[in-house]
A and B are shown apart, each in its own frame.
Chain A
Amino acid sequence: MEPLNLARININAPYKVWNEEDAYRFETENGISYIVDFDLDDNPYYRCYWFNLTNPRHTKSPNDIKIAQTVVCIIEEFFNQNPDVLLYMCSHDNGQQAQRSRLFLRWFNGYEQQQRYLLKATDVKAIGTDGKPTKDYVALIIQRTNPRLDEIVARFDSEIEMFNEFKP
């Protein structure tokens, strides 16, 4: 992956972003740290990265719109540097994956983003670590200018459909 241009991120990001051990970090005005990472996926069809975001202290920061703005700046810079695809899987921490999914959609579904990116979000049936049925939430983000847009979206849809046909 091409490294992100921090200077460009920091022109628009409300929180200062810096690089730390192949990841990107920022701290809110309430002293809460977030780390962002891009992990190369191993699917054989197209190059894509899993977008990871964590707040390791699990501190709540309600209504801090600057977090969303900073994350969007990082993702936009990712697409400036890498003509690839992003996948996002919501963390199961505290069983709040559904809330995380809704929050991420709200963050990344502004008018400007919709013009430039196609975001497909869905839930898939899964089995939890306790062996009980659960749901995983996943989103695919792809630039509308990607020449393989239709093919990649069709493949994503068909593979997700396969999960939901799965009967545990």
Chain B
Amino acid sequence: MHSIRKKSYLCTQNQLNREVMEATTTINNGRTREEIMAWWQRAKERKAAWEEKMQKKFDEEALIRKQADESHYYDIK
């Protein structure tokens, strides 16, 4: 009698756990919501870092061009 009750409790508990997982974090045999959010965030951060790097590169190029324009080194006639 005791073992039947225990088994029934375990079944209910397993089913409950499964339902909670499905409702909160699990996605069709794949990543959890948290993993997807983290993946998305990483992609956004990498993109932002790359854009910032390109911005700096262009700023440096502009500075070099300005220095060249202002330099008398190129005033040879």
Interface residues of A, Cβ cutoff 8 Å to B: 23, 33, 35, 37, 39, 41-45, 50, 52, 54, 56-57, 87, 89, 91, 93, 124, 126, 136, 155, 158-159, 162-163, 166
Which B1-59 residues have C-beta < 8 A from chain A? 27-28, 30-31, 33, 36-37, 39-40, 42-44, 46-47, 50-51, 54-55, 57-58
B30 in contact with A52 (CB, 8 Å): no
B44 in contact with A52 (CB, 8 Å): no
Q: If A159-B27, A166-B33 touch, does A52 touch B50 (CB 8 Å cutoff)?
A: yes
Nearest Cβ on chain B to A166's Cβ, whole angstroms? 7
Nearest Cβ on chain B to A135's Cβ, whole angstroms? 13
Q: By DSSP majority rule, is chain B's interface helix, strand, loop, or mixed?
A: helix
A158 in contact with B30 (CB, 8 Å): yes
Q: If A33-B58, A57-B58, A159-B27 touch, does A52 touch B40 (CB 8 Å cutoff)?
A: no
B57 in contact with A56 (CB, 8 Å): yes
A50 in contact with B43 (CB, 8 Å): yes
Residues of B within 8 A of A93 (CB): 51
A35 in contact with B54 (CB, 8 Å): yes
Nearest Cβ on chain B to A111's Cβ, whole angstroms? 30
Residues of B within 8 A of A35 (CB): 54
Which interface class (under 10, 10 to 19, 20 to 34, 35 or more) fits B? Answer: 20 to 34
Alpha-carbon distance between A42 and B55 when the two chains are bound, in angstroms: 25
B36 in contact with A163 (CB, 8 Å): yes
A159 in contact with B30 (CB, 8 Å): yes
Interface residues of B, Cβ cutoff 8 Å to A: 27-28, 30-31, 33, 36-37, 39-40, 42-44, 46-47, 50-51, 54-55, 57-58
Smallest CB-CB A-B distances: 4 pairs: A56-B58, A56-B54, A56-B55, A159-B36
A39 in contact with B30 (CB, 8 Å): no
A89 in contact with B51 (CB, 8 Å): no
Residues of B within 8 A of A124 (CB): 40
B39 in contact with A42 (CB, 8 Å): yes
Q: If A42-B42, A57-B58 touch, does A52 touch B47 (CB 8 Å cutoff)?
A: yes
Q: If A43-B39, A158-B28 touch, does A91 touch B33 (CB 8 Å cutoff)?
A: no
B31 in contact with A56 (CB, 8 Å): no
Q: In the complex, what residue of chain A is closest to B59 when comparing beta carbons?
A: A56
B31 in contact with A91 (CB, 8 Å): no
- Cβ-defined partner of A39 (8 Å) among B31, B36, B39, B47: B47
